[in-house]
Structure 1
């Protein structure tokens, strides 16, 4: 996490307690409602919300521009309720890492560190993402997509915000 030139960093504040936001990041029943770009649906094939566990899922976009894509997290660290570290990337239906069809030069793996800070009943989430063992071309593609990633994560976090607002209790 040392290279500020290549890291993607995004901050977002949620009107929910830290413990609840943490659950949104680590429990399949919640991830299914908000993970992925705005407008997609998630089908979870496997989820083990623990260090060494896997979150294997399919994102469907209603047929456009692609029918669906598989993704995978490998949870490295889960420290309730303040930190989640996972490696994500594209996958095939069996869960093996693969190159994305729409982004063939994208890094095979990206390490994401999410920290949560309590702010008077609200939660500030900081996402820090960096490619792992990426070629110069893959790093350049990652950096070139920072603005698009901000929009994509922003859309996902908009969906998370709406999902949090619908929950019967915020803590």
Structure 2
């Protein structure tokens, strides 16, 4: 299953982690690890399902520490090349995994394509993330464009948590 669109992806994010590629891949693909670092700071992730294979689904629920904010999300994996590449479509969902609108913006794109590549050099791993809306309407694209700086900042925080978690796994 290789349904990667021929459209430009709008966000590029690069980060070097002080960990071997196999470990970085493992914490991206195993639920007991992924739940320990994915998502905004101050949120907890419960993994309901994680099938990392082409056509497989990740389904999880993020909740704030006070329990007042609860959001379900899913990834639908398009391409998986162990331990170097993950391609998935990310969406907000309900508890059953049905794609829904984002709770914070009715114009947020229903689907975001993410392409993650991992390259190892001297025991460190460079993660490259390319992403952007998939099949977005004009209004959805505009909502994404306005929010992109906050999205970038959120990724920084999430990847800070990933770096901390990787350090704890050595």
> Normalising TM by the smaller chain, what interval?
over 0.9
Structure-1 separation of matches of 2:19 and 2:145: 31
Structure-1 separation of matches of 2:84 and 2:131: 17
Structure-2 separation of matches of 1:114 and 1:139: 21
Structure-2 separation of matches of 1:134 and 1:41: 29
Measure how far apart 1:46 and its partner are.
Answer: 1.1
Structure-2 separation of matches of 1:106 and 1:40: 21
Instruction: Tell me the alpha carbon deviations over residues 20-68 of structure 1, each in whole angstroms, 9 at most, x when there is no partner.
Output: 111121111111101111111001111111111111000001247x521
Matching residue of 2:162: 160
Measure how far apart 1:3 and its partner are.
Answer: 2.3
Matching residue of 1:99: 101
> Secondary structure at 2:35's aligned position in 1?
helix
Matching residue of 1:53: 56
CA-based RMSD of the aligned residues comes to: 1.3
Q: Which residues of 2 match residues 21-170 of structure 1 at below 5 A?
A: 21-63=24-66, 66-167=68-169, 169=170
Structure-2 separation of matches of 1:130 and 1:30: 25
> Secondary structure at 2:25's aligned position in 1?
helix
TM-score by length of 1: 0.92
Structure-1 separation of matches of 2:140 and 2:44: 27
> Secondary structure at 1:51's aligned position in 2?
coil
Structure-1 separation of matches of 2:104 and 2:65: 16
Structure-1 separation of matches of 2:56 and 2:33: 16
Moved over 4 A (4+): none
Aligned residues: 165
